[in-house]
Structure 1
Amino acid sequence: MKSLYPLLAALLLALASTPVHADAPAKPGLKEWKVPWENTRPRDPFVGPAGNSVWFVGQAGDYVATLNPETGGLKRYRLDPGTGPHNVIADERGAFYAGNLDGHIGLIDPDSGNTRKFRLEGDGPRDVHTMAFDSNGDIWFTEQAGNRIGRLEVDEYDFRMYPVKSESARPYGLVVGPDDRPWATLFGTNRLATVDREGQLREIRLPRDDARPRRLDITDKGILWYVDYSGGFLGRLDTNSGEILEWPVPGGPNAYPYAMALDDQGRPWFVETGPSPNRLIGFDPESERFSDPAAVPSGGGTVRHMVFDPETRSFWFGTDTNTVVRASLQ
């Protein structure tokens, strides 16, 4: 009789080399910092280049601020009344904020507090909404009421604007892909949008007519994830093949998923803003399983935007309950 050991060894080797489907993401730990400037709607945190400060804006308080997560220290930079800051992104040059109500992008010097304004020209709404850097350090952004996607070449102080053909499309969330193309949600429609390499704005229709995509993120391989706020779906667009897949979120049609971002494994996380308290939920694309919800301790009110910091494996977001939150992955 032949020995069974070679067969067993071969079987064990095959099992060891067989990919194991990941389980649902583990529920993260949440820590909140109370913002002392009451009823100012702190939002859109962004981890600074040094990693020791987190920038955010007070949309209803006309300020940009930093939080030191180690000490809990806060520093506020006051803006002109009526600025209505909506979003902030930062690099070695300082913090760029979206002057949503005043038609400009501002750059704050963290040391002096001095502000340089890049003002949009023309008539009609110029409501800079959500911004993202490209690889050159220039800025792509959306205008919700202006119905445009724009690009600011910072060094040249040069704006280039791309009108959206669909009326009242409400360009909203925006990210920049690995090839430096911007991708945006058109919250007033069931479409996404991008500006191609030839400089043409192109719209991508989603399968359901009543879908209203609000936030999105993209992997380095061009897999784009989005949340459908009105229908309660998580969606996936392969920007290479055009394939679109969707999954109902755990909270159902009244979940109103809003803020979302990808972690360092390419897994989408989003906040259901329908439930009170708001709930942070992750999704594993391999197992197609959702994580257990992590409730925002203060309730959240509405969590509108979040980012992922790969250095600390943490998400950051602001809340309408006047807090800034770090969600740390296990």
Structure 2
Amino acid sequence: MTAATTTHSQRSRFDEAPPLIRAHKIPSQKSEPYICMEGPDRALWFCESGASKIGRFDPTDSSFREFALPINNAMPIGITIGGDGNMWFCAKKASKVGRITMRGDITLFDLPTPNAGPDGTLVGPDGNVWFSETEISRIGRITPDGKVTEFSEGISNGARPLSIAERDGALWFSEAAGNRIGRITLDGTVTEFPIPSHDSQPRAMTTHPDGSIWFVQTSTNSLGRIDRQGHITEHKVTTPNSSLRGVCVGPEGDLWFTANAANKIGRMRPDGQMVGEYPIPVPNAGARCIGPHSNGRMYVTLFDVGMIGEVIPQ
């Protein structure tokens, strides 16, 4: 069940104790887990992009359940809690948005535009689920009964929107190829904010309690921060060429992130100062998403080894 455990003797520059990191093996072969999120049942729900399944991990006993999608090679990738109490996800290759109940019943909804490449997803302040359409550079919205609206006006061509965060009643999204952060209101009005560094490849995003939004910059090895006025600051991480992929806010308010190529979990203060970087105890794990849980721990999808990582701050 628990594949590996590690503690680290080194201390950070702020003398913070390093976290305990564990890894749990997913039953399916070639699971390729991607985005994960705590559900209303307090379990961790995640996408198995390689196995075309939705997974459920119970932190209380480290057990797994898996639910197969009715389409092979659908590539589920982004998942969130909907306003209806179900989990909603994007099936990227199938070009559909799906809903899964707590019992595991799955419904798939077609999108108006073929080959849209739905990716990141988040419930909006209106109770609808909003999602990025990476291949057509649009933002979509789906109601609980499956009605889909797509928004394209104001989004740069070829922007490849990915992750979505919410702030002040609007949705913010990363433009991986456009090198911008976008903002879309509930009526579909879009504003774009250019990132200072060239071709930084912004990906995962998270909203901090102080009102800022943080995002990873994969090609420039930085975490970016955008304030309410749209001003962007960039903060380098310690290990070069880390290929940052995921970011979340930890229980103490710091930013925790995945360094895919470095095979580490990193931690940064909200003022941009590094706290530490901690090796994942499984070689070449391929860390992608990291997300918080109400139990005070964080969970990481280890894409390349088919595991769920558990990060326990000390």
- Does the pair score TM above 0.5? yes
* Deviation of 1:36 (Å): 2.0
Instruction: Report matched runs for 1:219-258 at 5 Å.
Output: 219-240=208-229, 242-252=230-240, 254-258=241-245
Structure 2 length-normalised TM: 0.88
Distance 1:24 1:139 in 2: 41
Q: Provide TM-score, normalisation by structure 1.
A: 0.84
Letter in 1 for 2:95: G
State the partner residue of 2:10.
Answer: none
Matched, 1:263 2:250: yes
Number of the residue aligned with 2:171: 182
Aligned with 1:293: secondary structure? strand
Separation (CA, whole Å) in 2 of partners of 1:265 and 1:150: 33
Alpha-carbon separation, structure 2, partners of 1:188 and 1:267: 27
- Paired amino acid for 2:243: Y
Query: Which structure has the greater CA radius of gyration?
Result: 1
Tell me how far apart the structure 2 counterparts of residues 212 and 82 of structure 1 sit (CA, whole Å). Answer: 26
Whichever residue aligns with residue 207 of structure 1, its letter is P
Q: How much is the aligned-residue C-alpha RMSD, in angstroms?
A: 2.1
**Residue 37 in 1 paired to residue 24 in 2?**
no
Contact 1:23 1:284 in 2 (8 A): no
> Does the CA-based 8 Å contact 2:74-2:94 persist in structure 1?
yes
Residue number in structure 2 paired with 1:93: 85
Matches within 5 A, 1:41-120: 41-51=32-42, 53-79=43-69, 80-90=71-81, 93-111=85-103, 113-120=104-111
Identity of aligned pairs, percent? 21
The alpha carbon displacement at 1:303 in A equals 1.8
Give 1:207's aligned residue.
196
In structure 2, distance between residues paired with 1:263 and 1:25: 14
How far apart in 2 are the matches of 1:149 and 1:264?
30
1:274 matched to 2:250? The reply is: no
Q: Deviation at 1:279?
A: 0.7
* One-letter code aligned to 2:128: D
Counterpart in 1 of 2:130? 140
Contact preservation (8 Å) 2:27, 2:64:
no
In 2, Cα distance between equivalents of 1:318 and 1:246: 25
Three-state SS of the structure 1 residue aligned to 2:163 is strand
- Pair 122,211 (structure 1): closer, same or farther in 2 beyond 3 Å: closer
Moved >3 Å (runs of 4+): 22-26, 90-93
Say which SS state the counterpart of residue 106 (structure 1) adopts. Answer: strand
Aligned length: 298
1:314 aligns with 2:297: yes
